[in-house]
Amino acid sequence: MCKKKYFNDAYVDNKAKLFVRKDQMNQKIGNPSFTKTVKQTDAELITVKCKGCGGINKIQRGAVGECEYCGSPISGE
């Protein structure tokens, strides 16, 4: 896709096996053998069924988002 110019601002780094956008070129990439600990938030995740396609999605309680399968609006009420 890069050769066909679908992504004019990107290239494939075959050695690192990465797709790199030019706006990310100066960012440092961490060692993939280490995992990053993410601080857990107090937000409660709930599962909701999409009214558009019936897909099951996870969303924070009280949040509004979109179905990851069809893009229809979903709510964590």
**Structure token pair of residue 9:** 């601002």
Q: Which pLDDT belongs to residue 61?
A: 87
Beta bridge partners of 36: none
User: DSSP 3-state assignment of 44?
Assistant: coil
pLDDT tens column, 20-61: 776 655 555 555 555 555 555 567 889 999 999 999 999 988
> Would the pLDDT of 72 be above 70?
yes
- 32, 45 contact by CB (below 8 A): no
Q: Which residue has the higher pLDDT, 1 or 68?
A: 68
User: Range of 71's domain?
Assistant: 45-75
> Would the pLDDT of 15 be above 70?
yes
Quick check: is 49 in a domain?
Answer: yes
Quick check: is 14 in a domain?
Answer: no
CB burial readout 7-42, b (16+ within 10 A) else e: eeeeeeeeeeeeebeeeeeeeeeeeeeeeeeeeeee
How many structural domains does the chain have?
1
Q: Which pLDDT belongs to residue 77?
A: 80
